[in-house]
């Protein structure tokens, strides 16, 4: 096509568009037409106005909905949907407006909602694709709110803002961000972070019920639980006095000891005893989100980040050659928070001997290490009695079991009682002292067989 022909095509296309627009103006206004409705609200053709976008991580989408709803309702605004099926989700707001004006696509329709968790037992119907029409700072505003669609290659939630007044979109974004922080449904919750099947990063958040363990449910050496509680809760309680004295609030604590001694149980007690703290739990693969967890904790402080079995990612660099990016992410998260951030990191490990020295021996990362040892004989008796609850074991039976179970853990005591009940149930009678003795015989014999096998000794009949 030469230059003359190309010019003719361009002029003819413009002519056709003007004819179509003239026909639309002459025809009765379609109440479902999107562009005229927005033009009436904005006072200008929305297609000639800039669109300002703001992305929001998908796990904060519900906070975006809460904030926009509050700002929207202050101005007694309107909420509209956009038709067009899944195709509309593949287009930006400016593209939707252009196609709606030129070809009549994407008419006004019902609003799309999505059920989103706001707690372990609560949900919210959040706008997943809809237009909010309201005034902000005395100026008309249109906001397209959309949820993330990772399957379609859109990993972030987003708000897209159209307004004829300069600077209003920027100010609106700042207000929405502030309301998101103040009204966050994550604040005061116990959370764990999950990955996405489609994109790197956090795919969602799981809410957990806050445990309700009492002091009597925890069996530890004298003073241990008090030290742990003071280090985590005492700083939060006296934050103003510490700040006034120029002392830092950020703190780290390490709980270490053999498996099954009660480290996780101690963490669960803290979660129930400190309802004012936002808690972010990281274990297994989710530890890769430690940087995001630190950011959330800083925003939602006072907060506690729990890294269980941190030795899995933070073993001493002397043991392995090459890069360890996850270890560095943990260290950077601990270092990256300012000293006045009311955030605590609580780490647990079964293998303190191989834990990275840079993690365990530097104040500001870990400034308190507490051992949760194997229970001594009085502690074993208390544990067996605790798990036995209302079972009719006599004092001598409990004493006998505690003495014989030397070197065992709290988990052993729990399983011991469960097995005694099972033995009685199989025999069709109530649980008695003899069942506790038999259960202990079986478990000690099994433990010895496993030990002999691990040491390479045959288990002789």
Q: Which residues of 148-162 are buried (b: 16+ CB within 10 A; e: fewer)?
A: bbeeeebbbbbbbbb
Sheet holding 190-195, edge to edge: 202-208, 190-195, 278-282, 303-307, 343-349, 251-256, 368-371
**Residue 118 — very low, low, confident or very high, per pLDDT cuts 50/70/90?**
very high
Determine the 3-state secondary structure of 8 from DSSP.
helix
Does residue 361 share a domain with residue 231?
yes
For position 353, what pLDDT does the model report?
A: 74
Per the DSSP assignment, residues forming a β-bridge with 143 are 132, 161
Residue 24 has pLDDT above 60, yes or no: no
Locus of tokens 């079995």? 309
Rounded Cα distance between 286 and 192, Å, is 8
Q: Let me know whether 76 and 171 are in one domain.
A: yes
For residue range 45-66, list pLDDT tens digits in order: 999 999 999 999 998 999 999 9
Is the same domain home to 146 and 248? no
Q: Averaged over 293-322, what is the pLDDT? A: 77
The helix/strand count (H/E) of the chain reads as 16, 14
Give me the helix-helix angle, 433-454 and 395-404, nearest 10°: 0
Residue indicated by tokens 């037992």: 121
Number of domains in the chain: 4
Phi, psi of 323 (to 5 degrees): -75, 145
* Domain boundary, last residue among 315, 340, 371: 371
Expressed as residue numbers, the domain containing 5 is: 1-30
Q: Are 357 and 317 in contact (CB under 8 A)?
A: no
Question: Which CATH number fits the domain that encloses residue 363?
Answer: 3.40.50.300
List the end-to-end C-alpha distance of the chain, in Å, as a whole number: 95
**Helical H segments across 274-394, by residue range:** 290-299, 325-336, 357-360, 377-388
Instruction: Report the CATH number that the domain containing residue 409 is assigned in CATH.
Output: 1.10.8.60
Question: Token pair of 226, please?
Answer: 């008090």
Q: For residue 222, what is the DSSP state?
A: T
Statement to judge: residues 26 and 39 lie in one domain: no
Q: Does a structural domain hold residue 135?
A: yes
- Let me know if residue 427 belongs to a domain: yes
Digit-coded pLDDT (tens) for 130-174: 999 999 999 999 999 999 988 777 889 999 999 999 999 999 999
Q: 19 and 48 share a domain?
A: no
pLDDT(458) > 80: no
Which pLDDT tens digit goes with each residue over 80-114? 999 988 888 889 999 999 998 888 889 999 999 99
294 found inside a domain:
yes
Is there a single domain that holds both residue 267 and residue 402? Answer: no
């Amino acid at each position: 096509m030469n230059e003359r022909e190309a010019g003719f095509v361009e002029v003819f296309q413009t002519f056709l568009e003007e004819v179509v627009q003239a026909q639309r103006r002459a025809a009765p206004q379609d109440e479902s037409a999107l562009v005229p409705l927005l033009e009436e609200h904005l006072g200008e053709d929305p297609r000639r106005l800039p669109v300002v976008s703001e992305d929001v991580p998908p796990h904060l989408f519900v906070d975006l909905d809460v904030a926009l709803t509050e700002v929207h309702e202050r101005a007694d605004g309107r909420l509209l949907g956009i038709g067009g099926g899944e195709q509309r989700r593949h287009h930006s707001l400016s593209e939707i407006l252009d196609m709606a004006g030129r070809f009549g696509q994407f008419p006004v329709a019902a609003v799309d909602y999505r059920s989103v968790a706001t707690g372990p037992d609560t949900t919210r119907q959040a706008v997943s694709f809809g237009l909010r029409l309201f005034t902000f700072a005395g100026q008309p505003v249109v906001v397209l709110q959309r949820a993330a669609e990772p399957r379609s290659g859109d990993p972030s939630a987003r708000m897209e803002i159209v307004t004829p007044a300069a600077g209003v979109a920027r100010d609106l974004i700042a207000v929405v961000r502030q309301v998101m922080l103040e009204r966050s449904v994550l604040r005061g919750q116990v959370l764990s972070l999950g990955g996405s099947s489609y994109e790197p990063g956090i795919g969602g958040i799981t809410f957990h019920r806050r445990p309700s363990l009492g002091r009597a449910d925890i069996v530890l050496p004298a003073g241990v639980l008090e030290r742990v509680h003071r280090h985590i809760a005492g700083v939060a309680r006296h934050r103003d006095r510490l700040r006034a004295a120029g002392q830092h609030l950020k703190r780290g604590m390490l709980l270490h000891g053999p498996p099954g001694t009660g480290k996780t149980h101690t963490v669960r007690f803290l979660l129930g005893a400190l309802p004012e703290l936002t808690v972010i739990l990281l274990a297994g693969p989710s530890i890769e989100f430690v940087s995001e967890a630190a950011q959330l904790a800083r925003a939602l402080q006072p907060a506690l980040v729990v890294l269980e079995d941190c030795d899995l990612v933070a073993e001493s660099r002397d043991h392995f050659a090459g890069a360890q990016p996850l270890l560095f992410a943990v260290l950077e998260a601990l270092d990256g928070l300012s000293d006045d951030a009311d955030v605590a990191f609580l780490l647990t490990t079964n293998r303190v001997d191989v834990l990275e020295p840079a993690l365990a021996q530097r104040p500001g990362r870990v400034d308190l290490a507490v051992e949760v040892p194997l229970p001594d004989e009085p502690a074993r008796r208390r544990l067996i009695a605790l798990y036995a609850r209302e079972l009719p074991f006599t004092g001598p039976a409990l004493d006998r079991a505690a003495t014989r179970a030397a070197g065992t853990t709290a988990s052993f005591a729990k399983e011991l009682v469960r097995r005694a009940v099972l033995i009685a149930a199989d025999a069709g009678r109530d649980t008695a002292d003899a069942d506790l003795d038999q259960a202990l015989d079986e478990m000690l014999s099994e433990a010895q067989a496993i030990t002999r096998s691990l040491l390479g000794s045959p288990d002789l009949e």
